[in-house]
Structure 1
């Protein structure tokens, strides 16, 4: 039924819609839980940590959003390097990682 609905809504783009609908209806993946734990340990001052498996749940690609005071005074590339270092082991088995960092607003 999901595939039929997505084909009706978007025609040839139905595969993309189906993946996102399935992801929305599914539970949190083990990879998301593991990486969230690692980032919270590495960045104890983080006010927000969000890890999302954007590969449809297979663990090939993730998106990470992290807001922390630890990033203050660092360029974006340095912030991303810190995240990459924290997730070094997990990254080895991934196809890709999208990183979004920010400093908490006061």
Structure 2
């Protein structure tokens, strides 16, 4: 793969993204990103490859769902499933 080739899988990695990730790992060619991007890269790196990709995809999909009323209702239904045990035990947290 030459420096201009892109991997055949996954989203496009821009030169900016490459420089930010290189900075995160302390490699030559890195450029320090803004605070949000630093936190984002740190969070992704701390999860490991597969869990991070699944988590990011799930959150991205959930955010896209909010573009329609049906999508919002679907998210509300899912969130309601999480709240049911708390209501059933009088709102007390068990853990």
Scaled by the length of structure 1, the TM-score of the pair is 0.25
Q: Which has the higher strand share?
A: 1
Structure with bigger gyration radius = 2
Q: Which has the higher helix share?
A: 2
Question: Which structure has the higher relative contact order (CA within 8 Å, separation 6+)?
Answer: 1
